Amino acid sequence: MNGSVPDLVARLAAVSPDRPAVRDGQGRITYRELVEGAGRWETALRRRGVVSGDTVAVCLPRAAVTLQAVLGIWRTGAVLVPLDPGHPVARWQFVLADCRARAVVCTEDLASRLRKACGSTPERGRTDILAAESIDVDYASPAWSATAPVDPDSPAYVLYTSGSTGVPKGVRVRHGALAHYVGCAGQMYAGASGPAPWHSPLAFDATVTSLWVPLAHGGEVWPIPGSDPLSGLEGLAQLLAAPVDIGILKITPTHLEALANWLGPEGTPAAITSLVIGGEALRADQVRPWLARTTQIVNEYGPTESTVGVVVASVKPEHVARGVIPIGRPFPGTEILLRDRNGAVPGPGEPGELCVAGPQLADGYLNRPELTEERFPPHPLRPGERMYCTGDLAMTGRDGELHYAGRIDEQIKFRGQRIEPGEIETVMCGHPEIGQAAVVVREDRLVAYVVPRQGGAAPEPQQLTEHLADLLPPALVPQQFLTVRELPVTPNGKLDRNALRDREP
């Protein structure tokens, strides 16, 4: 897809102005009303001095106004930085300082907390706070066509992911990369032009599939109320418990399993055209309950650094019967390279690090040139081009499709979130009573092992939970804390996480 997502939405509004675009608790709005609202946001931001290249943070719930605000930001040429309303002020402080936000868009009830976050950031000029409730009253919508097209090479958004050193890193994605993903998804996912439930946070890159794929292809977005990710999942379960027609549903394997448990053995009466599953490794038992009520099930693979998804597999009943589900083949235009530890191409059936090249590659990490150089090295065959080294292992199966084979580092996926244990451990060790800490996944929970400082005792689990909740997003707070005398190490002196997983809780 050429151009940009906001330009395509504008063209759809011109051709089919009365086509339904968003249905939320306030009612249904058309594509014309969607872009008119975006125009009001564009006017408001420009009057506040926002110009092309500025960063604008958005901290809003799942609602039509959020989509209008994002489109308005993009029409100014500014860069979107989503903030999760459920994150602590400490995380907002870091993000707002790191991206040097020119403005923050939020609800009135979040404005005071966000002013506190802005006030605690280093000196970088004024950060304006714009409350969504005031936009419709204060500003008239200009003609959408009066704004120049969005440059595909300009940055569209920055998403912050977990960092192994305890510092989150912002991934910067271009409009052209976003448009390429949205265009490919529209071609491959049969339900792209139908209704799409929006149940996950704007700051989660999988949400791109739920929002911009349908809105770029004439579909309708159905926001699930609530700012908490779990409230969105519960609302989604209620939606799927009715006989509704869903065009496209994007979800993680863990949440898919939770939905199946809530809906019971009879499954969903809803009819789903395209069930897109991504964010973590997919097991056959997780997808089996959905085969009967879904026209198309796909397993989508892709890190944030390659714009949502770059490899896709159509999940067949025979995959489920064999218990092995591939991640599939590359998107059009995407190149996948497998490399072993020596940089050579692995043999058939042998794993290698999965590297990605092509039009969906992110620009790199905001304010982290050394990390960008490390993770986005030069393409080995094409001078002047780069690739992204994912840290994921994959191999090519006898069916010619790629199969996920684990990680080469300590990064984990938990409930669809990419988590660096080192980030959690760094924050835990900031507690005055903790000497060492380690985090692992055990079954369906994050477990933290704690070594008290010499001569002391470990804090109570509730104290640790409260300490971490003030500093980390909810997804990074362990569900269980265990006190140990020492952490196990390997013969070369490194933390032995496998030994921790084998310990009885």
**Over the chain (505 residues), what is each successive 10-residue block's mean pLDDT?**
89 95 91 94 92 96 95 96 92 94 93 81 67 71 64 96 77 98 97 96 94 98 78 88 96 87 85 94 88 94 96 94 90 95 82 95 96 95 94 86 82 73 77 84 84 81 89 86 80 67 66
Residues 6+ apart with CB under 8 A from 324: 284, 403
Tell me what pLDDT residue 367 has: 95
Q: How far is CA 362 from CA 5, 249, 255, 387, in A?
A: 16, 24, 27, 10
Tell me what pLDDT residue 121 has: 44
Tell me what pLDDT residue 122 has: 43
Tell me what pLDDT residue 322 has: 83
Q: Among residues 397, 406, 410, which one has the least CA distance to residue 350?
A: 397
Helix (H) or strand (E) holding 436: strand 434-442
Please give the Cα distance from 13 to 235 (Å, whole number): 29
Tell me what pLDDT residue 421 has: 79
Tell me what pLDDT residue 493 has: 53
Neighbours of 290 (CB within 10 A): 22
178, 36 in Cβ contact below 8 A? no
Q: Which residues pair with 160 in a beta bridge?
A: 170
Tell me what pLDDT residue 120 has: 46
CA quadruple 317, 322, 325, 330: dihedral positive or negative?
negative
464, 483 in Cβ contact below 8 A? no
| Domain limits, the chain | 332-407, 420-502
Residue with tokens 């050579």: 344
Please give the Cα distance from 281 to 326 (Å, whole number): 9
Please give the Cα distance from 411 to 169 (Å, whole number): 14
Neighbours of 122 (CB within 10 A): 8
Tell me what pLDDT residue 15 has: 95
Cα 419 to chain centroid, rounded: 12
Beta strands (DSSP E) in 25-168 are: 27-30, 55-59, 79-82, 103-106, 128-131, 155-161
Q: Among residues 133, 260, 276, 312, which one has the least CA distance to residue 197?
A: 276
Helical ranges in 299-365 per DSSP H: 317-322
Task: Copy the structure tokens of residue 43.
Answer: 């006017």
Please give the Cα distance from 236 to 184 (Å, whole number): 26
Domain 332-407 superfamily per CATH: Luciferase; Domain 3 (2.30.38.10)
Neighbouring C-alpha atoms within 13 Å toward the C-beta of 205: 31
CATH class of 420-502: alpha beta
Direct distance between the N- and C-terminal alpha carbons of the chain, in angstroms, rounded to an integer? 51
Please give the Cα distance from 129 to 104 (Å, whole number): 5
Q: What DSSP assignment string belongs to 30-41?
A: EHHHHHHHHHHH
Task: Copy the structure tokens of residue 388.
Answer: 């992204």
Residues 6+ apart with CB under 8 A from 501: 440, 441, 442
Longest dimension (CA), the chain: 72
Tell me what pLDDT residue 41 has: 93
Tell me what pLDDT residue 258 has: 83
* pTM reported for the whole predicted model: 0.84
Tell me what pLDDT residue 147 has: 66
Angle, CA 50 vertex, CA 48 and CA 55 arms, to 5°: 130
Please classify residue 489 by burial: count the beta carbons closer than 10 Å to its beta carbon, then call 0-12 exposed, 13-18 middle and 19+ buried. exposed
Helix (H) or strand (E) holding 392: strand 388-396
108, 99 in Cβ contact below 8 A? no
Task: Copy the structure tokens of residue 89.
Answer: 């002020």
Please classify residue 453 by burial: count the beta carbons closer than 10 Å to its beta carbon, then call 0-12 exposed, 13-18 middle and 19+ buried. middle
Secondary structure of residue 128 in the 3-state scheme: strand
CA quadruple 338, 341, 343, 349: dihedral positive or negative?
negative
